[in-house]
Chain A
């Protein structure tokens, strides 16, 4: 039997059922790993007492041969999910001390399935960032380093704490959210698996809102199968979120080993970027070869509006954010900085409470929605967004899924790309299209580069067809046989 912190969720579940390990032992091992890896700054809040008490309860249930599909499995929760009575900051100063009086639907479903909460995971402020550098609680370090080098690397963002903790084996899996790539990019940077399901698959109720037409919750874990197990528990219609889909949730686990024989896999020529590192192109070609060997047929396709996806995103996401973040006013929760008038109190609170990137996006959003600019920016972006979605609709007449690289590079050093916002935004160039079109996308580790850093491949599927995404992801995972571990983790 593998050491508790090196088990997958699927393995641990079997071991728990067979009484080879108790949830208390499993949880304690992860609490210890959490302490030992504190230097990564992956957690904002640790909840060891609650974890221990819940593990004890899970063991009682398991002893009776009962329990949910995640009974006794210790997980981390991104600090964007409201957790009843437990500090929820969204990585921001402005939510100082905020203890929600309610539980997000997705986390509630995980507890219902028997999962154990180890703590709340660090993230870019309000999920705005690709490096976890914008968190008020400080940067998260990637457990991975370049071979023979000492510089700390970013874990990606915005779900950087989730990805780092999963990679560092301090949690078995974690919740995350993805608005432009915030699940898939950090998964790629840390050698983990992350899926953003179709828009509407998971309820957004109780998740701190960033850009409501793009935000989706999903899991980060260490295998495709573990992601399927977690997503199964997280999905489903919720009357509290009118945009959550009232559709049956398929059996994701059953789809994982379906194979790819006979599938047509689209290879979009627009994802071949001038100036992208050769290792990214090489990995992509390797991925195509793997799927071919497994019985799929690669098909060249075109997604002609791809180059406009990021500029569209940087109109729509800030516009929605400027509206969503209007609620942080120093009146109802979190930070208040006094002022002589009500307006001055608002202005002082928001000046002190928001970090630089969040302010930048609120200002862009306010500008593009302001009188005289709405048509030129916002409405135009919504129209180009329709064209981007149409590109996919056309492509899916020919293919079952699409294969692309997950990111344009491997993890970069902490502090890099901070001077030029657009250089940072380009991190999401391969992932953001799936958000704009509402499609599911998974990132699976495909191998390591010359520096020994993980690189990810992305599979994008049709709307509400996560099953094919899991099957193709699993075929890549099998072929890649990614067994590398961050230094010191073996």
Chain B
């Protein structure tokens, strides 16, 4: 599978990474190379094989549904590039 520039642009938008137009060709080539190499997986007969969903053979534990932690707004926001009064500050989203 070879990716074209438009597909790379679309994927980059989905991933919220700005890619300058001048880099698209180069990236398309690199990503196509990796995806092409991955396509050898098509040789494998996977009929009847279940996808692996958990590497360890274990059952997830249940726990009581109760509050165990919290009230740390200051700690949670202390690393924010911009914060105020225990909140994160972002560019205006609502007009």
Q: What residues make up the interface of A, taking CB atoms closer than 8 Å to B?
A: 97-101, 198-200, 213-214, 239, 242-243, 245-246, 305, 307-308, 311-312, 314-315, 322, 326, 329-336, 338-348, 350-351, 354, 359-360, 362-364, 366-367, 370, 377, 379-387, 389, 421-422, 436-438, 463
Contact = CB atoms under 8 A, between A and B. Distances in A.
A239 B91 CA distance: 37
Contacts, number: 162
Interface SS of B by simple majority: loop
A333 to B, nearest CB: 4
Category for how many chain B residues contact A: 35 or more
Given A311-B37, A386-B50, 10 more contacts: A97-B79, A243-B56, A311-B41, A326-B16, A336-B81, A359-B17, A366-B14, A367-B11, A383-B44, A422-B37
B56 to A, nearest CB: 5
A463 B79 contact: no
Nearest to A325: B15
B35 A312 contact: no
15 contacts: A305-B44, A308-B40, A312-B41, A314-B38, A322-B15, A333-B80, A334-B79, A345-B90, A351-B18, A360-B27, A360-B34, A366-B11, A367-B35, A386-B52, A389-B52
A113 to B, nearest CB: 25
A333 B79 contact: yes
B56 A332 contact: no
Contacts of A101: 72, 75-76, 78-79
B92 to A, nearest CB: 8
B49 interface: yes
Interface SS of A by simple majority: helix
Contacts of A331: 80-81, 88, 90
A436 B49 CA distance: 16
Contacts of B76: 101
B55 interface: yes
B30 A421 contact: yes
A432 B77 CA distance: 37
B82 interface: yes
B70 to A, nearest CB: 13
A9 B38 CA distance: 43
B79 A421 contact: no
Contact of B55 (A199, A242, A246): A199
B81 A330 contact: yes
A188 B26 CA distance: 33
B55 A308 contact: no
A354 B75 CA distance: 25
A159 B15 CA distance: 26
B84 interface: no
A406 B14 CA distance: 37
